Amino acid sequence: MQNQTQATRDAPQLKRRLGLASAVALNMSQMCGAGPFITIPAMIVVMGGPQAYLGWLLGALLALCDGLVWAELGASLPGAGGTYIYLREAFGKRTGALLPFLFVWTAMLFIPMTMATGVMGFIQYLGWFLPQMTALQGNLAGLALIWITIGLLWRTTRSIGRLGIVLWIVMLVSIICLIAASLSHFNAARAFSFPANAFDLGSSAFWFGLAGSLTIGTYDYLGYNTSAYVAAEVENPGKVIPASIVLSILGMCVVYFTMQVGVLGVVDWHRMLDQNSAAFTSVASVVLNESWGAKAAGIVTVLILITAAASVFAGLLGGSRVPYEAARDGVFFRAFSQIHPRLGFPTWGLLSMGVLTSLGFAIGRLTSLTTLIQLLTTVMILVQSIAQIGALLVLRRKRPDLERPYKMWLYPVPALIALIGWIYIYVASNQNAPGAYPIQWSLAWLLLGSIAYLWWSRTHHLRVKHA
């Protein structure tokens, strides 16, 4: 095993080629994608009215607090794989490879599921042009998108950074067009037509609805950590990673809230309650159609399709790097440590993300978008979100000598706020996905991962590299 680890250490390494602009572009492309275009109606359904605005605002607060956790850890430990490295450095000496292994095991599930939601959004808006599209045709179109994206990522990181900026610009244009169209026909009374008892704090329905809205809102902000996942390829990571995370979250908060208000100022929220209507499946196209006409709606819908594809692009890029560092340490399959000899990217990591995203897309087509979001969020919370906050606290106490180019503002308050937010979402997940049992499935997945770890460690004599 030591020879294996040394061999992978001597193999070609990832190169630092991504600057601040590329890092922000990758983060924001992953954060936006099809997310807000498909989740604005979903949040209305969960909350029962425009009070869903709270989901965007509280989602931004949770994302910012959690983003500061990523910022400090990513700046201090800038390597490929993000959370894997943080858990390894914080808990490796006490738990061995268990927690790092479980993170990689879990990430190989929740990252493809996240990408699957982007592909589902792509198919929803494709239906604007192809209203007679069958389920089979939608399935084939989604799979085609996944594997075309894999082909686009089969290149050097520098060219990926340039392509990411182009896709980011397309995303911004689509958002600007939607906001401009909504504001040009904005009706404030419609946008703020709250139903009776919309803010009944004494009602359990309000708090469960808020948790569901917060879950969807947080899902829309996910991706602010993409630059930390590819930190081994980021120039000057001590400065670029924190800046890219904070700028991405603040920028998208303004964009999301403006979009939500603008859309509800054009489309009566009651129309979105019918989940078979165009107001639910492709609300952005409806806004453009009713504000600027069918031609403008068609043009912007094309841009939205490109934006959805951009989010899949950024997510597969970051996800393909997750098992790379673990494999180099000898705590995951050896093949994942292989770098393409000419283009310099993890070949098996990229291919596996393609396969698993295809499977996640297939599962998503058999369930609802909201259920899929609840499932992927609960799986992620235990082994990434909560465990990573613990890693930050442990490293602050056990490794005061660790070089920290960035230190969390107001430590540890943001970390504790993030912890409360994640626990709130997790506890309420069963209520917001009735019949899907996301809590039970998340625990079952961890149990299965623990069994897999025991088998793997005994057959391969795992050793985790400590700081």
Out of 92-96, 326-330, 331-335, 398-402, give the one with best mean pLDDT: 398-402
Whether 329 and 465 have beta carbons less than 8 Å apart is answered as yes
Q: How confident is the model at residue 463 (pLDDT cuts 50, 70, 90)?
A: very low
Output the pLDDT for position 348: 78
SS3 category, 230: strand
What b/e string do you get for 432-443 counting C-beta neighbours within 10 Å, with b at 16 or more?
bbeebbbbebbe
Name the residue among 372, 429, 448 with its Cα closest to residue 214.
Answer: 429
Whether 252 and 268 have beta carbons less than 8 Å apart is answered as no
Question: Which tokens in the block code for residue 341?
Answer: 């000899």
Mean pLDDT of 94-115: 79
Q: Please determine, for residue 118, whether its predicted confidence score (pLDDT) is greater than 80.
A: yes
Question: Which tokens in the block code for residue 50?
Answer: 């425009």
Output the pLDDT for position 163: 65
Name the residue among 458, 391, 404 with its Cα closest to residue 88.
Answer: 391
Query: What is the four-CA torsion angle of 271, 366, 214, 174, rounded to 10 degrees?
Result: -60
Tell me which CATH code domain 2-11+18-460 carries.
1.20.1740.10
Output the pLDDT for position 202: 86
Name the residue among 315, 356, 312, 349 with its Cα closest to residue 334.
Answer: 349
Task: Specify the amino acid at residue 304.
Answer: I
Return d(Cα 186, Cα 429) in angstroms, integer: 34
Q: How confident is the model at residue 153 (pLDDT cuts 50, 70, 90)?
A: confident
Task: Specify the amino acid at residue 269.
Answer: W
Question: Which tokens in the block code for residue 264?
Answer: 């509800």
Task: Give backbone dihedrals phi and psi of 230, rounded to 5 degrees, phi first.
Answer: -105, 30
Mean pLDDT of 51-58: 91
End-to-end CA distance of the chain: 18
Mean pLDDT of 317-324: 74
Task: Name the least confident of 187-196, 216-225, 305-314.
Answer: 305-314
Output the pLDDT for position 8: 40
The residue ranges of every structural domain in the chain are 2-11+18-460
Q: Please determine, for residue 13, whether its predicted confidence score (pLDDT) is greater than 70.
A: no
Return d(Cα 463, Cα 393) in angstroms, integer: 24
SS3 category, 339: strand
Return d(Cα 255, Cα 123) in angstroms, integer: 23
Name the residue among 73, 114, 123 with its Cα closest to residue 395.
Answer: 73
> How many residues make up the chain in this entry?
467
Output the pLDDT for position 91: 84
Percent above pLDDT 90 for the chain: 30
Q: How confident is the model at residue 227 (pLDDT cuts 50, 70, 90)?
A: confident
Cα–Cα distance list, 229 to 20, 40, 111, 329, 439 (Å): 14, 27, 12, 16, 26
Q: Please determine, for residue 374, whether its predicted confidence score (pLDDT) is greater than 90.
A: no
Question: Which tokens in the block code for residue 444?
Answer: 């079952």
Return d(Cα 451, Cα 445) in angstroms, integer: 10
Return d(Cα 322, Cα 309) in angstroms, integer: 21
